[in-house]
Copies of this chain bind each other. A is one copy, B any other.
């Protein structure tokens, strides 16, 4: 069976018009007489013509494709963000090219370049952190980019986040009322958001409570890390802990449970992600709610504006957060 693909040229011939006209009706650009439009449309339907996105991309220099960059495909945090992005991208008919940097951690730049070479119209960048190098690359390339759930040190890229510093400060203040040994468990101390926001939020709270011991503990990534860090918490006699990651928090919760340590009576646990895992935990996990889905959606919406060169008033969006007290805090 010879199934040569049907091109715009075939349609043009059959409809007895030029390919330019067909292109116009397909894209709804330019003026076409109603009668012609109808005829062409009918023929398109009959022949089952579907425009070739690649050719279109080459010719128009627009691919209606956005790149989404994330470190890990199998992670509730990024998944919820991605969902927001995905839904909005559908609304605007953008396709998504996914790039995860999971395996290749150092060559994020290559991954990005690969995105560039695919001629994506825009990029949503998500990660635990963004290096200055990557940030510069993105900035220089001049391709519309928005960061979701990450901050870049220089604040030159559009982004959407919550106020991490304030959120951390609030929790710490609350903990400090009842406890004198409090920990902030982060996955990596050196990420921008931890270094410049969360730790500072904690430090600020510390100023108000000179008798209280505040500590930053590094746990690493994922559920097992939570399980593992528990002993350190106990050794240091921590009474209340704020983690940046739900999985880690659940690890701590379960480690406590497995050792018959009562949460929240003996240890308060609060997380800072509020993915849907929080509800599945027992006791249900209290958390700062980052509106992840919304962050993704807002980021994507902003990106569409950027791509269309529409003016964007505020390029550093801070979405409101809440503190959700469930059963893992008093």
Contacts and interface: CB of A to CB of B under 8 A. Distances in A.
Interface of A: 3, 50-55, 57-58, 63, 65, 68, 73-76, 79-80, 82-83, 86-87, 90, 95-100, 102-104, 113-114, 116-119, 142, 223, 247, 250, 254, 257, 276-277, 279-282
A313 to B, nearest CB: 25
A11 to B, nearest CB: 14
A247 B280 contact: yes
B57 A54 contact: yes
Number of copies: 2
A142 to B, nearest CB: 7
Contacts of A68: 98
Nearest to A72: B83
A227 B100 CA distance: 33
Contacts of A280: 223, 247, 250, 254, 277, 280-281
A104 B117 contact: no
B52 A55 contact: no
Contact of A223 (B80, B104, B279): B279
Given A86-B102, A87-B103, A97-B95, A117 B50 contact: yes
Contacts of A51: 117
A73 B57 contact: no
A250 B80 CA distance: 19
B103 A90 contact: yes
Nearest to A226: B280
- Shortest beta-carbon contacts, A-B, top 7: A74-B79, A74-B83, A54-B57, A53-B117, A98-B98, A96-B98, A53-B118
Most buried by B among A73, A79, A90: A73
Contact of A73 (B83, B113, B118, B282): B83
A226 to B, nearest CB: 9
Contacts of A73: 79, 82-83, 86
Contact of A116 (B50, B276, B277): B50
Contacts of A142: 3
A99 B95 CA distance: 8
A80 to B, nearest CB: 6
24 contacts: A50-B116, A52-B58, A52-B119, A53-B117, A53-B119, A54-B54, A54-B58, A54-B63, A74-B79, A74-B80, A74-B82, A74-B276, A83-B102, A86-B100, A86-B102, A87-B102, A90-B103, A90-B104, A96-B99, A97-B98, A277-B277, A277-B280, A280-B280, A282-B282
Given A54-B63, A55-B58, A276 B97 contact: no
Nearest to A281: B280
Contacts of A82: 73-74
Contacts of A279: 223
